[in-house]
Amino acid sequence: MTLKLSLTAALGLATALTALPATADVNIYSYRQQELIQPLLDAFTEETGIATNVAFLDKGMVERLQAEGDRSPADVVLTVDISRLAELVDAGVTQPVDSEVLSAQIPSEFRDPGNEWFGLTTRARIVYASKERVAEGEVTTYEDLVDPKWKGRICIRSGTNAYNVALTAAVLHHHGEEGATAWLEGVKANLARKPQGNDRGQVKAIWAGECDISLGNTYYMGAMLADEEQKEWADSVRIEFPTFEDGGTHMNVSGMAMTKAAPNRDEALAFMEFLASDTAQAIYAEAVNEFPVKEDVPNSALVESWGSFTPDDVNLMDIAGLRPDALKLIQIVDFDG
């Protein structure tokens, strides 16, 4: 059974899921789109016989769980971005999960120190560069983006988007408040247009000649190549992996957590342990075009074709902790204005 949830339908969610079977099911709230996780759900049910019931949310996951409290029918949440995972923990709507399987399968750098969230895949925030107008290797660092040579040549989505807030938090970690402010102002000065749209929209703008480079997550390349209309956009750009001058390429994570209420805890734990397995990691890698958190699980052939890079080694919880300060700086410089 699958429930499609929009924000306007959110009020009916608790009643709908409460009516689901109380046992032998896993009830999931997900920010991940249905087409991305359905292969995992199918494989889990086939292996265990446990059914899954999913509500796909656009926003408001924390607020929904807080409103439902102990009566929440949700067992597991799936989301993206370290800030959203940390927000769930900070809001007190998750619980620690003591599992030898999860501890053994998921590296410590990709799970909460208190075992309240666990990473499933990673993604890099990279530069999409025009094949026609940007030479290979012309963009090497995030700091390069403030170079005046890029004036009028950069496209980007809103600075307050979670992905850009996390990147700004990483800039703040590497360069401090003064350096991060200067970086935001420099990137803003080089924009071809006001921030708008999503990551794919920026690639479309490069294809249309509105700009030459943009910031985006790696997995969007796979999504565009799989879309008949968007493939032309994807073919017009290549992926460049910039690094920080004193670090590597900025990484983020998708992950899971067990809700504090979790009425079907045993089934929820079985689902989480399945998602950490080699089988599920391989399915995830193919379905979402991201990097498995387990080093011994290979990338998909498409992801492998993008080339190798050096991930930044900053702790993801440090990035999450700097997110409020990063958002404040973005607002101070009026990045979207």
pLDDT tens sequence across 136-178: 999 999 999 999 999 999 999 999 999 999 999 999 999 999 9
Asked whether the predicted pLDDT for residue 17 surpasses 70, the reply is no
> What is the pLDDT, as a whole number, of residue 238?
97
Pick the more confident residue, 22 or 179. Answer: 179
**15 Cβ contact partners less than 8 Å away, ≥ 6 residues apart:** none
Alpha-carbon torsion (31, 34, 40, 44), positive or negative: positive
Asked whether the predicted pLDDT for residue 81 surpasses 70, the reply is yes
Q: Which two tokens stand for residue 318?
A: 């440090």
CA separation for the pair 46, 38 (Å, rounded): 12
> What is the pLDDT, as a whole number, of residue 250?
97
**230 Cβ contact partners less than 8 Å away, ≥ 6 residues apart:** 200, 203, 204, 223, 224
Q: What is the arithmetic mean of pLDDT over 325-335?
A: 98
CATH number, domain 2-122+252-297? 3.40.190.10
Q: What is the pLDDT of residues 41-72, one digit of tens each?
A: 999 999 999 999 999 998 899 999 999 999 99
CA separation for the pair 258, 72 (Å, rounded): 12
Pick the more confident residue, 335 or 34. Answer: 335
> What is the pLDDT, as a whole number, of residue 7?
35
Q: What is the arithmetic mean of pLDDT over 290-297?
A: 91
Buried b (16+ CB within 10 A) or exposed e, 267-276: bbbbbbbbbb
- 27 burial class (0-12, 13-18, 19+ CB within 10 angstroms)? buried
120 touches 28 (CB < 8 A): no
- 208 burial class (0-12, 13-18, 19+ CB within 10 angstroms)? exposed
Asked whether the predicted pLDDT for residue 22 surpasses 50, the reply is no
CATH fold of 124-250+307-332: D-Maltodextrin-Binding Protein; domain 2 (3.40.190)
Looking at residue 126, what DSSP letter applies? E
**145 Cβ contact partners less than 8 Å away, ≥ 6 residues apart:** 127, 139, 154, 183, 186, 187, 190, 213, 215, 242
288 touches 36 (CB < 8 A): yes
Q: What is the pLDDT of residues 83-111, one digit of tens each?
A: 899 999 999 999 999 999 999 999 988 99
Q: What is the average pLDDT score of the chain?
A: 91
79 touches 37 (CB < 8 A): no
Task: Label residue 24 by pLDDT band (50, 70, 90).
Answer: low
β 76-80/25-30 pair status: parallel
N residues, the chain: 337
Residues of the chain with CATH 3.40.190.10: 2-122+252-297, 124-250+307-332
> What is the pLDDT, as a whole number, of residue 68?
96
